[in-house]
Amino acid sequence: MTSMEVVYCILGMFVVSYIPRVVPPFLLAKTTLSPIVERWLKYVPTSVFGALVFSEIFIDGNKLNFSLGNINLITSLIVLAVSLKTKSLGKSIVTGMVVFWLLKNVV
């Protein structure tokens, strides 16, 4: 790809990334949300996090890894316990990094 083509490509990527981001507030912000949309939106966060977290933990390249040798899985169970107990994002993240590093390099 020539330098000019890279720039065109980036501009194209900008347009298709910006539109999905910018359109919702222009459709939703001026009206009051209907109760059913509001109720639906209440379940979006837990659904997004569930989908993201499960994907990060179990998807390994093109396959699913459910084995106990999956470092992501073991670390995440510990992070989950810490987060539920302490309610602290900082403690959860630090625990995650330490445990992940130990499992990867020491165990």
Partner 1 sequence: MLRNLYSREVLKAVLPICVGYIPLGFACGVLAQKVGVSVWETGMMSVLVFAGSGQFIALSMIGGGASISSIVLTTFIVNLRHTLYSSTLTSYLMGQSKKYFSFFTQGIVDETFAVNLSEFSTGEWDANRALALNILAHGCWVLSTMLGNVVGNVLTVDIAVVGYTLTAMFIGLWTFHFENNLKIIIGLVSGALALFLSSFLTHKLHIVVATIIAATLGCMIEGGKKDD
Minimum CB distance to partner 1, residue 69 (Å): 15
* DSSP letter string, 4-29: HHHHHHHHHHHHHHHHHHHHHHHHHT
Helix ranges (DSSP H) in 1-107 = 3-28, 35-42, 44-58, 71-86, 89-105
Confirm or reject binding of residue 83 to partner 1 (CB under 8 A). Answer: yes
Q: 32: which DSSP letter?
A: P
104: its two tokens: 């990867």
Which one of 46, 67, 68, 107 is in contact with partner 1 (CB under 8 A)? 46
Confirm or reject binding of residue 97 to partner 1 (CB under 8 A). Answer: yes
Minimum CB distance to partner 1, residue 42 (Å): 7
Binding site for partner 1 (CB under 8 A): 1, 3, 5-18, 20-26, 28-29, 32-33, 36, 38-59, 64, 72, 75-76, 79-80, 83-84, 87-90, 92-93, 95-97, 100-101, 104
